[in-house]
């Protein structure tokens, strides 16, 4: 029992190390090691969930010790066990286990299978580190490790042009956010002299009693939120997530939909006691979340790549969660994180099944008519789609309404934006679903599609169950504190009405269409964010780089370094002509030199 | 009465003659002899300084000492130099310095 958290945390690391060091050449063995490791973690997580009491200090490993510097500051690898981490732990390990299993089939013919599974295992280790962290420094380091493993996995097919670029973009965007996160941690440390969550929590009420502390807390909270903006791909750093879809589809499902991007929300909930001191920071968080939710939903309506539609949908749902934290409903945020993890992972895995059936075709307009060829994929995908739309009876309905109710109590505009997003979500998911599964097969590949192998379908079915039932009060109450439900609220009816409207509109517009009947370039081009950022960077950072490049190339290199060397060379070249080989010329020069020497010594003062 | 200046004048003339020979003549043997002339110009001035620079009524023998050294060194130099010239002549079949110009870049 005493070793349970360590088993969960370090088994995936062990697997990654084993694969990298020993089994690189045996691809299937590597995959088996990785899958076995994640199943061990998942089983141990379930045992931990059932048996271990809440504690933040029972499990500690000594790690960083700064006492030699005279500041008596130690950071352990400490395990937090509470309701929050237990629920997150189950999400991460169970979805992780299913996705590992799915990857076995999806990556069956991939040359880099060993590398892929090592990356997945390493990701599991890093993610579990974030979930377990009981102090900021440990969380930050695992936070960065997650970024690294995400980088490795996005760039898995590094020999193609797009994935490495996407990996770089993801990593750089994350680093931008993480810089803010680090500043936030330093601010908190300055105020409390501690990075331990419990210690900070104990010290904060005393500090917060001083009104002068409020601006400081606001700054710290917003800096911490920067970490979320990067990792959970919130506006304005949302641009990396759609590009991250260049990675293998199971990676998109695990990292860029279910777990890693949710880590930002998890972190916000974990440090809620800091954020909640500052109403201004809460407003910022709510507004950023709302903007992300609406913008991403708008962009999703005009994407043609199946994974990109889902990516924008993920952005939009993450916006919901962040918004929920901002409107002081952390239970709602965690609830939505919990349900979203299941149905979004399922959506991505379903998309992977479709993509594989259509021979790696991702354009939805080149699919169609898959409903009779892939019945199980269709059914599970439908369950996840309905959950995402928030249709009554599916998990998303409950969690989305929890957020919308909290928003309606907070500020009407945020509430309206949330409703509009719900409408758009129903619309674009209907569009996706109708175009992919119904109508005629639009290409040869789609015509010859067939159902995926069982090892891929089992995770789909297993994920479909929580996608439906995870929202039921009797289920969720076992895992997370549920938001107080107000029976009198009419929010669910409004949201459901708008959702049905979106579904109806989607059906009417897209039924039997051969190509997209509406074209909105602004949305299809993602509000030109990428172009804007390219321009911005071209005019700021690149400008600086070009100037320093010019100075380096022409002034330092050419004028100084090469100038000096070629000047010396040229001088030597000119002097070479003195060496004419004529003995008497030498003698003359020698004599002239002696005369000159005497002249200078004797007469020149 | 012959003064020091007269000796030095002759010495200077001899030196100039030697230098001119070194710089202007083309035959390496002649250049070599002109070189000896310059050495002897130096010897002459040294002997003159020795004769006129008396120390407690006696000539300053330091100058004459130096002259002996120079004569010795010159003898050795002639031995080596002539040997080089002979070797050079055997190798190149010429004593004209304008044809011996391979010492360059």
CA distances from A440 to A347, A373, A511 (A): 22, 12, 11
Which of A576, A579, A583 lies at the smallest CB-CB distance from B97?
A: A583
Which of A62-66, A133-137, A601-605 is predicted least confidently? A62-66
ipTM of the prediction: 0.83
Whether A314 contacts A257, CB under 8 Å = yes
Q: Minimal Cα–Cα distance from A536 to chain B, Å?
A: 58
Which of A580, A581, A587 lies at the smallest CB-CB distance from B23?
A: A587
Token digits for A554?
């022409």
CB–CB contact A581 B24 (8 Å): no
Residue B69: φ, ψ to 5°: -55, -45
CB–CB contact B105 A576 (8 Å): yes
Token digits for B52?
């006129």
Token digits for A397?
């309905």
Whether A286 contacts A328, CB under 8 Å = no
Say yes or no to pLDDT of A191 above 90: no
CA distance A421 to A400: 11
- In a mutational test of the B interface, the residue from A572, A573, A577, A582 whose CB has the highest number of chain B CBs within 10 Å is A582
Which of A576, A581, A584 lies at the smallest CB-CB distance from B23?
A: A584
Say yes or no to pLDDT of A332 above 60: yes
The fraction of chain A above a pLDDT of 70, given in percent, is 98
Q: List, for residues A440-470, the tens digit of each pLDDT value.
A: 878 877 778 888 888 888 889 999 998 888 8
CB–CB contact A582 B23 (8 Å): no
- The pLDDT score that the predictor gives to residue A368 is 78
Q: From A265, A260, A244, select the one nearest A324 (Cα to Cα).
A: A265
Identify which has the larger pLDDT, A489 or A501.
Answer: A501
pLDDT confidence tier of residue A212, bands split at 50, 70 and 90: confident
Q: List, for residues A363-405, the tens digit of each pLDDT value.
A: 888 887 788 888 888 899 999 999 998 888 888 888 888 888 8
Whether A384 contacts A347, CB under 8 Å = yes
Largest CA distance in chain A: 117
Say yes or no to pLDDT of A486 above 70: no
Say yes or no to pLDDT of A49 above 70: yes
The chain-wide mean pLDDT, for chain A, equals 88
Query: A283-308 burial, b for 16+ CB within 10 Å, e for fewer?
Result: bbbbbbbbbbbbbbbbbbbbbebbbb
CA distance A495 to A485: 15
Whether the CA torsion A378, A381, A387, A390 is positive or negative: it is: negative
Beta bridge partners of B55: B58
- The pLDDT score that the predictor gives to residue A524 is 78
Q: List, for residues A265-304, the tens digit of each pLDDT value.
A: 999 999 999 898 888 999 999 999 999 999 999 999 888 8
Q: List, for residues A268-278, the tens digit of each pLDDT value.
A: 999 999 898 88
Whether A225 contacts A284, CB under 8 Å = yes
pTM over 0.90: no
Q: Determine the length of chain A.
A: 605
CB–CB contact B101 A581 (8 Å): yes
Residues of A in contact with B22 (CB under 8 A): 584, 587
pLDDT confidence tier of residue A39, bands split at 50, 70 and 90: very high
Q: Which residues contact B74 (CB under 8 A, 6 or more apart)?
A: B36, B39
DSSP per-residue codes, A249-307: HHHHHIIIIISHHHHHHHHHHHTHHHHTT-HHHHHHHHHHHHHHHHHHHHHHTT--BHH
Which residue numbers of B have CB closer than 8 Å to A's CBs?
19, 22-24, 28, 31, 97-98, 100-105
Chains A–B, number of C-beta pairs less than 8 Å apart: 29
Range of A38-52, A71-85, A437-451 with top mean pLDDT: A38-52
Question: Mean pLDDT throughout A65-78?
Answer: 76
Q: From A250, A450, A416, select the one nearest A323 (Cα to Cα).
A: A416
Q: For chain B, state the CA radius of gyration.
A: 17
- The pLDDT score that the predictor gives to residue A485 is 60
- The pLDDT score that the predictor gives to residue A141 is 92
Angle at A349 between CA A346 and CA A350, to 5 degrees: 85
Q: List, for residues B27-37, the tens digit of each pLDDT value.
A: 999 999 999 99
Q: List, for residues B47-94, the tens digit of each pLDDT value.
A: 999 988 888 888 888 899 999 999 999 999 999 999 999 999 999 898
- The pLDDT score that the predictor gives to residue A396 is 87
């Amino acid at each position: 029992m005493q070793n349970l958290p360590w088993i969960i945390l370090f088994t995936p690391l062990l697997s990654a190390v084993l694969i990298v060091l020993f089994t690189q050449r045996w691809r299937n063995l590597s995959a088996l090691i990785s899958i076995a490791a994640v199943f061990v973690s998942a089983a141990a997580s379930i045992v931990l969930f059932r048996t271990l009491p809440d504690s933040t200090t029972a499990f500690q490993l000594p790690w960083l010790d700064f006492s030699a510097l005279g500041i008596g500051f130690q950071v352990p690898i400490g395990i937090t066990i509470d309701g929050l981490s237990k629920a997150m732990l189950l999400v991460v390990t169970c979805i992780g286990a299913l996705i590992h299993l799915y990857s076995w089939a999806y990556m069956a013919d991939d040359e880099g299978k060993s590398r892929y599974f090592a990356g997945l295992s390493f990701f599991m280790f890093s993610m579990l580190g974030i979930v377990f962290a009981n102090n900021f420094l440990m969380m930050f380091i695992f936070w960065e490790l997650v970024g690294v493993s995400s980088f490795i996995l996005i760039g898995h097919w590094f020999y193609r042009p797009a994935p490495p670029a996407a990996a770089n973009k993801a990593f750089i965007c994350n680093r931008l956010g993480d810089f803010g996160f680090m500043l936030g941690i330093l601010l908190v440390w300055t105020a409390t002299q501690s990075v331990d969550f419990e210690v900070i929590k104990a010290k904060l009420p005393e500090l917060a009693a001083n009104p002068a502390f409020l601006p400081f807390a606001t700054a710290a909270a917003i800096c911490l939120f920067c970490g979320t903006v990067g990792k959970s791909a919130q506006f304005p750093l949302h641009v990396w997530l759609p590009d991250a879809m260049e990675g293998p589809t199971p990676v998109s499902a695990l990292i860029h939909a279910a777990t890693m991007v949710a880590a930002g929300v998890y972190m916000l909930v974990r440090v809620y006691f800091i954020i909640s001191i500052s109403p201004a920071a809460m407003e910022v968080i709510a507004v950023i979340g709302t903007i992300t939710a609406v913008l991403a939903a708008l962009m999703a309506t005009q994407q043609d790549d199946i994974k990109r539609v889902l990516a924008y949908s993920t952005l939009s749902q993450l916006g919901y969660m962040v918004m929920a934290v901002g409107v002081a409903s952390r239970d709602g945020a965690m609830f939505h994180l919990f349900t979203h993890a299941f149905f979004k992972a399922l959506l991505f895995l379903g998309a992977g099944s479709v993509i594989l059936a259509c021979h790696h075709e991702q354009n939805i307009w080149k699919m169609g008519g898959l409903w009779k060829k892939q019945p199980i994929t269709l059914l599970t995908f439908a369950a996840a789609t309905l959950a995402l739309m928030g249709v009554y009876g599916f998990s998303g309905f409950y969690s989305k309404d929890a957020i919308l109710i909290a928003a309606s109590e907070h500020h009407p505009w945020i509430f309206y934006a949330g409703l509009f997003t719900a409408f758009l979500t129903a619309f674009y998911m209907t569009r996706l679903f109708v175009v992919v599964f119904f109508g005629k097969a639009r290409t040869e590949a789609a015509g010859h599609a067939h159902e995926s192998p069982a090892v891929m379908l089992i995770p789909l079915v297993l994920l479909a169950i929580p996608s439906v039932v995870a929202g039921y009060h009797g289920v969720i109450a076992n895992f997370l504190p549920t938001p107080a439900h107000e029976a009198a609220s009419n929010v669910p009816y409004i949201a459901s009405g708008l959702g049905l409207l979106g579904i109806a509109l989607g059906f009417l517009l897209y039924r039997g269409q051969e190509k997209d009947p509406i074209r909105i370039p602004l949305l299809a081009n993602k509000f030109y964010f990428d172009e804007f950022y390219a321009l911005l960077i071209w005019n700021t950072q690149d400008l600086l780089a070009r100037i320093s490049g010019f100075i380096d190339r022409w002034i330092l290199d050419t004028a100084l370094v090469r100038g000096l060397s070629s000047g010396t060379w040229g001088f030597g070249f000119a002097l070479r002509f003195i060496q004419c080989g004529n003995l008497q010329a030498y003698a003359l020069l020698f004599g002239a030199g002696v005369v000159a020497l005497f002249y200078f010594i004797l007469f020149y003062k | 009465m012959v003064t020091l200046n007269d000796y030095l004048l002759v010495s200077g003339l001899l030196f100039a003659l030697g230098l001119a020979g070194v710089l202007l003549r083309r035959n390496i043997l002649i250049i070599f002899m002109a070189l000896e002339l310059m050495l002897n110009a130096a010897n002459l001035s040294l002997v003159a300084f020795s004769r006129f620079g008396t120390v407690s009524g006696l000539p300053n023998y330091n100058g004459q000492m130096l002259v002996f050294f120079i004569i010795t060194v010159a003898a050795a130099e002639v031995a080596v130099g002539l040997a080089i010239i002979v070797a050079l002549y055997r190798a190149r079949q010429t004593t004209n310095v304008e044809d011996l110009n391979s010492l360059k870049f």
